Chains A and B, each alone.
Chain A
């Protein structure tokens, strides 16, 4: 790495660290920018992911979880903040360095339909990253592709077919093989099982877990399904209107949520009322617009505990118990 300008000091066991990340999109406004408003898709987000860890990220549509994931890979351009991957700020990297680092940061998306080119054979889809990085000989590439198809549980005769010939679960396996081709250290998994039926979803979740232990992968696992995230994650972050409002180990977060929004979210899981014995909390209204989020706490307009202070001060994400962070003025009282 040398003395690159993007070098930053982080703890040894941390693979990825976000510091005060902001991704805002301009909207409306005139040609001169007068009256321009901003969609605050990701607003002041900080967290770390340790090597070999799975950090789950949950939140409802529009909370900014997908934009956050894409910002980490620099598929979106954040306004400010830092994305520190192995001690280097991804956002400050020159293009050449970014290409080198991207081999270590790969992604799996929800829709294997949309992310697989229908005119390419499975063999070429899996090898695409290797070709782009361009340092393997043809026979080495073929060997790697054959190995990958085994790893994700497909057969070698599948290599010469096209993606439309496969079921949803098989297509997601192809997407996973593609992401792993470059032997990445970090994988962003954005709703990787949401489009799959339950019986197939469990196959893919098992595969993701196996691959993690085999290759020492670190996952950022983004999903709206709270049960899936609880199952797969070591730690879980909850997003609301562009902010992380709670972050803790999966166990602590699901057993003892300290932010009212998290409590409402967990109580809304169908069938959970009976299972957990906790009363259902029915939230009123919809999520406010991220263009003009409420002052103070973003959740206060739907929160049953809101007081005057909630509209005046943004509650910081603070440690309410060891390694349990919540952004609520009343997190200790809950």
Chain B
């Protein structure tokens, strides 16, 4: 879909050389190891990666939700030009849940089981806005209607456990949208949902983007979901960015051997009856990351030079690839 809000080139979010580390008894884990990307106002970026790639730590770093033993070791996270890394907890609270909102995979991590869903969305509103009781209730019902919850007046007084997984995720999206954020971070928003419910939620997010022009940062393991929602994509592996470009470019003509391997691993009808082009081996131990390119030990095209970090290189079509082949 076209990203109308990207005009003027103003960047809503700029992540610059972010390093997020974790102290463990066995040593320092570099969960995010020097990544940079931008999200324009009203734009949409997907971060794709497998477990341990650092994609969720990236989203938590942006939300300033990294807790000890984790810490942002270096880098800048500019939101509307302001560096979030240096802000005080009070200043962050003015942004989090207001201008930037996060939706998790499991809606029950965001919902309190002992309060009604209406109360919880109302609380999100009241944290940042001054409204009287009646106005709050009206606004919550309106939000429930916006995210497609049937009989919203009645749902206000329901407890989370009474709702299905898809309905709960709609409630957390309503909560995230309560203050009309400029950036919505969706971390595996549909992974726990069935495919027909996933289609409903993705459809909802698409529609909301048109209506309220919120920028979306989507974190997922499923490149199919990225093609549904995003213009741009970042492929992560071992805490680094392997490839960055438009979704159309990357899915049609992947450049990095990891992206190529990932797309070739997808079981599709075209490869029925044939063996899948599996990537050999497994993700390296985060405490013993190989020198240079983290994908080197599993890469069929590894060369001597790959023991040194290739950095992000430009193959000449506007995208960035972290590979010495380019």
- Chain A interfacial positions (CB closer than 8 Å to B): 60-61, 167, 169-170, 197-203, 205-206, 209, 224, 226-228, 230-232, 250, 254, 264-265, 267-272, 274, 280, 282-283, 285-287
Q: Is B24's beta carbon under 8 Å from chain A?
A: no
Instruction: Give residues of chain B (189-219) contacting chain A, Cβ–Cβ below 8 Å.
Output: 194-200, 202-203
Q: Is the CB of A206 within 8 A of B224?
A: no
Report which of A203, A254, A267 forms a contact with B278, defined as CB distance below 8 A.
Answer: A203
User: Besides A199-B278, A203-B278, A264-B196, 14 other CB < 8 A contacts?
Assistant: A60-B194, A200-B282, A202-B276, A203-B279, A224-B195, A230-B268, A254-B269, A268-B195, A270-B198, A270-B202, A270-B224, A280-B199, A286-B164, A286-B166
Q: Is B290's beta carbon under 8 Å from chain A?
A: no
Q: Is the CB of B199 within 8 A of A205?
A: no
Report which of B198, B228, B267 forms a contact with A228, defined as CB distance below 8 A.
Answer: B267
Report which of B167, B199, B222 forms a contact with A268, defined as CB distance below 8 A.
Answer: B199
Q: Is the CB of B221 within 8 A of A197?
A: yes
Nearest CB in chain A: distance from B162 CB, A: 12
Instruction: Give residues of chain B (13-31) contacting chain A, Cβ–Cβ below 8 Å.
Output: none
Q: Is the CB of B282 within 8 A of A167?
A: yes
Q: Which residues of A contact B267 (CB under 8 A)?
A: 202, 205, 227-228, 230-232
Q: Is the CB of A268 within 8 A of B164?
A: no
Q: Residue on B with the closest CB to A63?
A: B194
Q: Is B277's beta carbon under 8 Å from chain A?
A: yes
Q: Within the assembled complex, what's the spacing in Å between the Cα atoms of A224 and B194?
A: 8
Q: Is the CB of A60 within 8 A of B195?
A: yes
Q: Within the assembled complex, what's the spacing in Å between the Cα atoms of A209 and B271?
A: 13
Q: Which residues of A contact B269 (CB under 8 A)?
A: 230-231, 254
Q: Residue on B with the closest CB to A205?
A: B276
Q: Which residues of B contact A265 (CB under 8 A)?
A: 195-196
Count how many chain B residues have C-beta atoms less than 8 Å from C-beta atoms of the other chain. Answer: 39
Report which of A170, A199, A269 forms a contact with B195, defined as CB distance below 8 A.
Answer: A269
Nearest CB in chain B: distance from A229 CB, A: 9
Q: Which residues of B contact A227 (CB under 8 A)?
A: 266-268
Q: Which residues of B contact A202 (CB under 8 A)?
A: 265-267, 276-279
Q: Is the CB of B196 within 8 A of A271?
A: no
The total of Cβ contacts below 8 Å across the A-B interface reads: 102
- In the assembled complex, 7 residue pairs joining A and B whose CB atoms fall closer than 8 Å, in A order, are A167-B283, A198-B50, A205-B267, A230-B269, A268-B195, A270-B227, A283-B199
Q: Which residues of B contact A224 (CB under 8 A)?
A: 194-195
Q: Is the CB of B197 within 8 A of A286?
A: yes
Q: Is B308's beta carbon under 8 Å from chain A?
A: no
Q: Is B111's beta carbon under 8 Å from chain A?
A: no
Q: Within the assembled complex, what's the spacing in Å between the Cα atoms of A203 and B283?
A: 13
Mark interface residues in B263-292 (1 if CB within 8 Å of A CB, else 0).
001111101100111111011000000000
Q: Which residues of A contact B203 (CB under 8 A)?
A: 280, 282
Q: Residue on B with the closest CB to A226?
A: B195
Which of B194, B227, B228 has most chain A Cβ within 10 Å? Answer: B194
Q: Is the CB of A231 within 8 A of B271?
A: yes
Q: Which residues of B contact A280 (CB under 8 A)?
A: 199, 203
Q: Within the assembled complex, what's the spacing in Å between the Cα atoms of A231 and B283?
A: 24
Instruction: Give 10 closest A-B pairs by Cβ, nearest first.
Output: A270-B224, A231-B267, A271-B224, A268-B199, A60-B194, A202-B265, A197-B50, A202-B278, A202-B276, A199-B279
Nearest CB in chain A: distance from B146 CB, A: 16
Report which of B164, B196, B228, B262 forms a contact with A283, defined as CB distance below 8 A.
Answer: B196
Q: Is B51's beta carbon under 8 Å from chain A?
A: yes
Q: Is the CB of A268 within 8 A of B278?
A: no
Q: Which residues of A contact B280 (CB under 8 A)?
A: 203
Report which of B195, B275, B282 forms a contact with A169, defined as CB distance below 8 A.
Answer: B282
Q: Within the assembled complex, what's the spacing in Å between the Cα atoms of A264 and B199?
A: 10
Q: Which residues of A contact B102 (CB under 8 A)?
A: none
Q: Which residues of A contact B276 (CB under 8 A)?
A: 202, 205-206, 231
Nearest CB in chain B: distance from A248 CB, A: 14
Q: Which residues of A contact B50 (CB under 8 A)?
A: 197-199
Given contacts A264-B196, A286-B197, contact A274 B227 (CB under 8 A): yes
Q: Which residues of B contact A285 (CB under 8 A)?
A: 150
Report which of A197, A230, A271 forms a contact with B228, defined as CB distance below 8 A.
Answer: A271
Which of A202, A203, A227, A232 has most chain B Cβ within 10 Å? Answer: A202
Q: Is B121's beta carbon under 8 Å from chain A?
A: no
Q: Within the assembled complex, what's the spacing in Å between the Cα atoms of A34 and B29?
A: 60
Q: Which residues of B contact A200 (CB under 8 A)?
A: 278, 282
Given contacts A200-B282, A231-B268, contact A271 B227 (CB under 8 A): yes
Q: Within the assembled complex, what's the spacing in Å between the Cα atoms of A228 and B267?
A: 6
Q: Which residues of B contact A61 (CB under 8 A)?
A: 194
Q: Within the assembled complex, what's the spacing in Å between the Cα atoms of A285 and B228?
A: 21
Q: Which residues of B contact A268 (CB under 8 A)?
A: 195-196, 198-199
Given contacts A198-B266, A205-B267, contact A270 B194 (CB under 8 A): no
Nearest CB in chain B: distance from A302 CB, A: 8
Q: Within the assembled complex, what's the spacing in Å between the Cα atoms of A127 and B268?
A: 35
Which of A169, A203, A254 has most chain B Cβ within 10 Å? Answer: A203
Nearest CB in chain A: distance from B233 CB, A: 12
Nearest CB in chain A: distance from B196 CB, A: 5
Q: Residue on A with the closest CB to B50?
A: A197
Given contacts A197-B51, A202-B277, A270-B202, contact A231 B196 (CB under 8 A): no
Q: Within the assembled complex, what's the spacing in Å between the Cα atoms of A199 and B283?
A: 9
Q: Is the CB of B272 within 8 A of A250?
A: yes
Q: Within the assembled complex, what's the spacing in Å between the Cα atoms of A264 and B269?
A: 18
Q: Residue on B with the closest CB to A283?
A: B196
Q: Within the assembled complex, what's the spacing in Å between the Cα atoms of A289 and B318?
A: 51
Q: Within the assembled complex, what's the spacing in Å between the Cα atoms of A205 and B310?
A: 33
Mark interface residues in B137-174 (1 if CB within 8 Å of A CB, else 0).
00000000000001000000000000010110000000
